[in-house]
Structure 1
Amino acid sequence: MVAVLAAALATAVPGVAHAAAAPSNDDFDSPAAVAALPFTAQEDTSAATEAADDPAWCEGDAASGTVWFRYTATQDGLLRATTTGSDHRTVLSATTGARGHLQPVADGCDYGTDATITFRATAGTTYSFQVSGIETPGGALSFALDAIAPAANDAFADAEPVTALPFTRQPDLSLASAEAGEPESTCVDDEAQPSVWYSLPAADAARSLTARAEGTAAAVTVYSGNSLAELTQVACDRNSLDPVAFGAAAGTRYAVRVTAAHRSYGPTELELAEAPPLDPYVYVSPTSASVFDNVGFSASSWKAIDRPLGGTWDFGDGKTAPVGTDTVYHRYAADGVYPATLHATSPDGRTATIATPVTVTTHDVGIAKFVVPTAARQGESKPVSVDVTNTRYAETVTVVLSKQSADSWTEVGRLTLQVPARATGKVRFPFSYTFAPEDALAGKVAFRAEARLQYPVEDAFTADNAAISIATTVKPPATRIAAV
């Protein structure tokens, strides 16, 4: 009676704090038993404690305060446990075995305000579920456990038909498994990853399609064939922003397999669609060329599914070349406007034709003859002539005459004339030069002649547009000897 009275008085004294009792399922040895599925529970875990031997393989040192649930599977199949609805972040894990010898369950770890694990259970096996708090020991916890059905399209034989394009799905790969005999994929590192299947029915005409997979370790692989044993890979994509394109032949059925990591951070997404038209860009340089130019032709595309481009370059003069990753060069033999055309092909068989006219116009004049005096005296004026040839178009030509002064050239004359196009013959540009004292001081002078076309016309072959003379010998002026 004294003890009871003391306890009553203790609870009646105001201002005295009393620690909340730990949950009844606070320890591994006293779990909340799950008798039947589906099972749900709500409890306050704010006073949950942590045992020294609580396993930390899932959460490491981030968790604190644990409660336990235990279930013995009555049949083989998928189990899903979740803490969705809790008011705090949790760590949820599943183990098998006795205390001190607990073993993690594959795919049996997750954390967050909606921690969820899905794994394959074996009939007769007992599973222990540990729930911990993150950053806070606990709070209002919601725990649920249920048996769930596998993905409807988990097996190749149960593939979901793709009835229309574009086609998008977010399969739950936690409900899937790796079927025995599944074909390999060059985009999948671990063939034991779970997968789901989709079926592309045979079409009446050939077409180009795209496939893309997004998610943790997600991959989509397209196969041709009618049975699991005879599937042949056609294309694949692994967690890419750019889809992969593939050509679908008429009358051929295709199977699409989506794989992902057992525990995926975020959803796995599949996209199938008609491939967009091939849209390459063409670069031709120069587009205004001459017969002396090597014109460069290159083509590519901003879309990854279009590359590498194949096909043919038609230069418009009867010559062709294959399209490649490098620039192709071509020289035209005569002036004219040539309808250069790219006939492009993508790896999956889409085609496009792009025409780029190339104008070939060759302006070309040359200095055929440059005549300067062999000798002169200071003060003498002597003729200098420059003969210019032109065989293509009538041109306005300016000849600039310069003399060498120390390390530079100084202009001493300029003359502009019309030079008609002639198969033979030339036009002479006549100059007269008066030899200066500095020429006599140096004892010689060299001349340079340069033929220029009127802007914006440019000479296509400038190697013969300039000439330098042999130096003219220059003597002092003649002096008169007085008679005695």
Structure 2
Amino acid sequence: MRHTAFRRLLVAGLAVAAALVAPATAHAEAPANDDFDTATAVTALPFRATQDFGEGTTSADDPKSCYSWIATSAWYDYTASADGFVRALPSGAGQLPFIAVYTGERGALTQVPGACAEWNTGPSVTFPVTAGQTYHIMVFKPYSGAGQVATLDLSSVPRESNDDFAAAAVATLPGTFSGDLSRSTSEPGEVTASCDPEADHSVWYRYTPDRTRSISVERRSTSVAVYWGASRAGLSEVECASSLDSYKRVVFRATAGEQYWIRVATDADGASPYEIRLTTAPALTPNVYLYSDPKSVFDDIPMSPNAGDRLGRPLVSGELKFGDGTSVALTSNAQLTHRYAADGDYRLEISATTDDGRSGTGTQVVHVETHDVTLTGLSLPAQARAGQTKPVKVSVVNNRYAETVTVSLRRKGESGYFEEVGALTQYVPVGGRVEFPFAYSYTAADAAAGQAEFEIVANLNDRYDGDSHPVDNRLTGVTTGRGQAARRAG
């Protein structure tokens, strides 16, 4: 069972905590139905009994299939006079007892599937009964102590009116529908959902659209499967979402005049009140998420297409036009890249279809603007002696946008790192070539080393993102001893 292990751990923990803090209490005489063999006979429904469920004891062979910790137990036996459903409901002040229902004989009891108090929905249970079958109802508490008075009510409850396929309730749009899956069954030979074949407590709805549209089915903690077909024998599954996949919204394309069947179901452990809501599925607003900013002609721009579906259904087909005469077919929302050849504003056009058949289109603009200057020349003296000051010249070329450029002159120190020894800032117009003149005084350390190694670096001012193509913004060169030429590297 899906939730049984968690329930046992939870209640065991609560019971241990309660035992640690509860004061010691002397027990009065145990109630008459304290033991399985002295169970109170329930001869007719409705039935009501009030007693102190904290005054009992527990037997070594009390079943543990519902919860692992039992401090007190009381027993009731009910032999069903007809097929149907019975609800066992405790009420009272304070901590209410829990309930589990069994069939069989002492020492060989079998829990009725799902007939165990739900920790998250309250201590009551609703369980199916068969005429002539005896049901053993154990009312128990995880800790003992006098003063834990509660009332147990047993009553017959009706089966859900749309329990059978032939009695499917009519669904309207928009519409909200509710019921209780603990009061439902599964018919012999009933179709099961591909996404949740163990869901065997089911109810049915039928829907015939007056016009073609996409339908959304909102649900919680239940499986929902949608079928198409004119009869039970010819059903074809259209869509399915498991109770375990709470994030998946059921969406299907409904054609005008066709008959659709909606099966709401769960397994015995999860059988409880449910609610579903039918609405028209929202329109798609496809879009593209652009990662890099700003964008230049040197960038392979990452793009993530998205169906723009509020229900979260995936994109399965479509097209993305980049606005420069090129496009790509879409089969998913997987990330792709695109590089533009020139600056400008490009209109992205995206069409997308989700797996439930909805389609939509969207547009947006991507702005491409490239800022790039280039270092084109570095002039160093061929030789120099300590104490000499000689010119160092560098040229900056700009073919795109007017820029304010700072050029830094750096010399490699004894540490092996370049250290700035000068910087110049100048305006470089579009289409211009500007010289940046430096002067450097050579030192005794340069003479001792036999050379001075320099690095020239250009940076754009007032741009947080810097140069779009920084690979051409750095030059290096070396001034060596007398009679040796200066070496230059880019």
TM-score bin, normalised by smaller chain: 0.7 to 0.9
User: Displacement of 1:418 after TM fit?
Assistant: 4.4
Specify the alignment match of 1:451 in structure 2: 458
For residue 473 of structure 2, the aligned residue among 454, 465, 469 is 465
Q: 1:33 to 1:373 in 2, by over 3 A?
A: closer
Matched, 1:230 2:234: yes
Aligned to 1:13: none
Larger radius of gyration: 1
Determine the structure 1 residue equivalent to 2:165. Answer: 156
Structure-2 change in CA distance of 1:162 and 1:373 (3 Å)? same
Maintained 8 Å contact 2:284/2:361: no
Q: Give runs of aligned pairs for residues 11-90 of structure 1, distance below 5 A.
A: 32=41, 34=43, 38-40=45-47, 42=49, 56=63, 62=70, 64=72, 66=74, 68-69=76-77, 71=79, 73=81, 75=82, 77-80=83-86, 82=88, 84=90, 89=97
| Runs (5+) with no aligned partner, structure 1 | 1-18, 476-484
Tell me which of 330, 336, 351 is aligned to 2:344: 336
Distance 1:260 1:276 in 2: 27
When the two chains are superposed, the root-mean-square deviation of aligned CA atoms in Å is 4.2
1:255 equivalenced with 2:277 (yes/no): no
- 2:471 alignment partner, SS class: helix
Note if 1:119 corresponds to 2:128. Answer: yes
Q: Deviations over 1:226-281 (max 9, x none)?
A: 21122222222233543423232322322111112335475333333333444677
SS of 1:306's equivalent in the other structure is coil
Partner AA of 1:224 in structure 2: W
Answer yes or no: is 1:172 the counterpart of 2:190: no
Q: Who is 1:202 aligned against?
A: 209
- Could you tell me whether the CA contact under 8 Å between 2:180 and 2:272 is conserved in 1? no
- Contact map agreement 1:236 1:244 (CA 8 A) in 2: no
Q: Following TM superposition, by how much is the alpha carbon of 1:157 offset from its aligned partner in structure 2, in angstroms? A: 1.6
Distance change >3 Å, CA 378–CA 185, structure 1 → 2: same
Alignment deviations for residues 125-175 of structure 1 (CA, whole Å, 9 cap, x no partner): 2535556554469967555454x5432111112110112324231x22233
- For 1:22 and 1:434, locate their aligned partners in 2 and report how far apart those are by CA, in whole Å: 106
Pairing of 1:231-380 with structure 2 (within 5 A)? 231-239=235-243, 240-251=245-256, 252-264=258-270, 266-278=272-284, 282-300=288-306, 305-310=311-316, 311-323=318-330, 324-378=332-386, 380=388
Shift of residue 29, structure 1, vs aligned partner: 8.0
SS at match of 1:471: strand
CA distance in 1, matches of 2:435, 2:150: 105
**Structure 1 residue 196, shift from structure 2 partner:** 0.8
Residues 439 and 187 (structure 1), Cα distance of their counterparts in 2 relative to 1, 3 Å cut: closer
> SS of the counterpart of 1:174?
helix
| Counterpart-to-counterpart distance in 1, 2:341 and 2:469 | 14
- Contact 1:20–1:47 at 8 Å: present in 2 too? no
Tell me the distance in 1 between the aligned counterparts of 2:434 and 2:54.
109
What amino acid sits opposite 2:193 in the alignment?
Answer: S
Matched with 1:6 is none
Give the TM-score normalised by structure 1.
0.74
For residues 359-382 of structure 1, the C-alpha deviation after alignment (integer angstroms, 9 at most, x for no partner) is 222222222232323234455555
One-letter code aligned to 1:346: T
Tell me by how many angstroms 1:333 deviates. Answer: 0.4
1:213 is displaced (CA, Å) by 3.5
Mark the CA change 1:366 to 1:101 in structure 2 (over 3 Å): closer, same or farther.
Answer: closer
**Helix, strand or coil for the counterpart of 1:362?**
coil
CA deviations over 1:304-358 (Å, ceiling 9, x no partner):
8424334433322122234544421111101112223444443323445454432
- Kept in 2, the 8 Å contact 1:288–1:361? The answer is yes
**2:16 match:** none
**Aligned positions of 1:365-444 closer than 5 A:** 365-378=373-386, 380=388, 382-406=390-414, 407-409=416-418, 411=420, 413-422=422-431, 426-433=433-440, 435-444=442-451
- Cα distance, 1:401–1:23 mapped onto 2, change above 3 Å: closer
Cα 1:284–1:141 shift into 2, 3 Å: closer
- SS of the aligned residue for 1:288 comes to coil
Residue in 1 aligned with 2:8?
none
| Native 8 Å contact 1:48 1:66 kept in 2 | no
- Taking structure 2 as the reference length, what is the TM-score of the superposition? 0.73
Within 1, Cα distance between the matches of 2:196 and 2:377? 75
Contact 2:407–2:436 (CA<8 Å) still a contact in 1? yes
Letter in 2 for 1:453: L
| Gap change, CA 1:173 and 1:278, over 3 Å in 2 | same
With over 3 angstroms needed to count, the CA separation of the structure-2 counterparts of 1:79 and 1:374, relative to structure 1, is closer
Distance 2:45 2:369 in 1: 85
